[in-house]
A = this chain, B = another copy of it.
């Protein structure tokens, strides 16, 4: 299976930035499902209509906070962003398998995801990591996660052209 990237040139992601992402990830790892859920509940607090983007939420009668599918999905997104950071450092680019990236692009187009959604997700991600990191939180940590997220989104958007 071939690997693809959304960016032609290698991205500069410093050792320090990678360390900052991993440092905060290590704090969340043990309860990553809970943090991921908090992350997505923040998204829906800001933009309740974003719930309509998730097929598994449409006919669900389970409260959001108890929805195992939501928790699993949220964890995937959180882990993927963290992995993007590691890849930026080791490979200078976001590496996602061809098939995965195409599927991610297609599913985001089909669900009706627009730019504003990616922005709300980014804000919610950073707020969640801020809360999880406590005193460890810094502008540099925010920057490192932001870069990783932005490049992951760029890779997905690159496959969102209809």
**Chain A residues at the B interface, C-beta cutoff of 8 Å:** 45-50, 114-117, 119-120, 123
**CA A47 to CA B117, docked complex, whole Å:** 9
Tell me the dominant secondary structure on chain A's binding face: helix
Additional pairs, 12, CB under 8 Å, beyond known A46-B119, A49-B115, A116-B117: A46-B46, A46-B123, A47-B116, A47-B119, A47-B123, A49-B119, A50-B116, A114-B114, A114-B116, A116-B116, A116-B120, A120-B120
**CA A139 to CA B59, docked complex, whole Å:** 28
State the oligomeric state as a number of copies. Answer: 2
A123 to chain B, nearest CB (A): 4
Which among A45, A46, A48, A117 has the greatest number of chain B C-beta atoms within 10 A? A46
**CA A48 to CA B47, docked complex, whole Å:** 15
Q: Which residues in B have their C-beta under 8 angstroms from that of A46?
A: 46, 119-120, 123
Q: Which residues in B have their C-beta under 8 angstroms from that of A116?
A: 47, 49-50, 114, 116-117, 120
Contact of A45 among B48, B49, B50, B123 (CB under 8 A): B123
Q: Which residues in B have their C-beta under 8 angstroms from that of A120?
A: 46-47, 116, 120
A87 to chain B, nearest CB (A): 24
Q: Which residues in B have their C-beta under 8 angstroms from that of A115?
A: 49
A-B contacts, 20 of them at CB < 8 A, read A45-B123, A46-B46, A46-B119, A46-B120, A46-B123, A47-B116, A47-B119, A47-B120, A47-B123, A48-B119, A49-B115, A49-B116, A49-B119, A50-B116, A114-B114, A114-B116, A116-B116, A116-B117, A116-B120, A120-B120
